[in-house]
Amino acid sequence: MPDDLELPPPEALDEAQRLLDADRPFHAHEVLEAVWKAAPDPERELWRGLAQVAVGITHLRRGNPRGAKALLSRAADRLEPYAAQPPYEIDAPGIIRTARALAERPEATTDPIHLNLTRTRA
């Protein structure tokens, strides 16, 4: 990913989803992190949480259950304030459920992880 990547939120969500679907969570993290760093204050923690979910999945894929558990738990906590009214059709409740489930049993996760970032894909 280019260091100066700038995508509007809907395009970033589409690109991150494409990368997650291709089992490239670290690259999805990079896309989400770029939005996080450019987001206005009311959305910063939302994008930070999404980026942490992707990097938590990266830790799972790399065999680091302890790191995955920590990141996924923090990500879910960070996303909670957005659960009732998430912007951009983000499926915050679904992402929170998935992150918490993965954090509960990170050592047991060997199958592909299916995560829908938006409700339109659910």
Domain CATH number, residue 101: 1.10.3450.10
pLDDT at 105: 84
Find tokens 């992402």 and name the residue: 95
Tell me whether residue 93 is in a domain. Answer: yes
pLDDT attached to residue 9: 94
Residue 81 lies in a domain: yes
Residue 3 maps to a domain:
no
Q: Quote the pLDDT of residue 107.
A: 73
4 domain residue, yes or no: no
Task: Answer yes or no: is 75 within a domain.
Answer: yes
pLDDT at 101: 92
CA distance linking residue 93 with residue 14, whole number of Å:
18
CB distance 30 to 55 below 8 Å: no
Query: Running along the chain, 122 residues long, what does each successive block of 10 average in pLDDT?
Result: 74 96 95 93 96 95 92 97 96 96 79 85 53
Residue 29 lies in a domain: yes
Instruction: Answer yes or no: are the C-beta atoms of 35 and 97 closer than 8 Å.
Output: no
Supply the pLDDT for residue 110. Answer: 62
d(CA 72, CA 99) in angstroms, rounded, equals 5
Domain count of the fold of the chain: 1
pLDDT at 109: 62
Whole-angstrom distance, CA of residue 40 vs CA of residue 27: 22
The pLDDT score that the predictor gives to residue 1 is 52
Separation between Cα atoms, residue 72 and residue 8, nearest integer Å? 24
Would the pTM of this model clear 0.75, i.e. be above it?
A: yes
The answer to whether the CB of 56 falls within 8 A of the CB of 89 is no
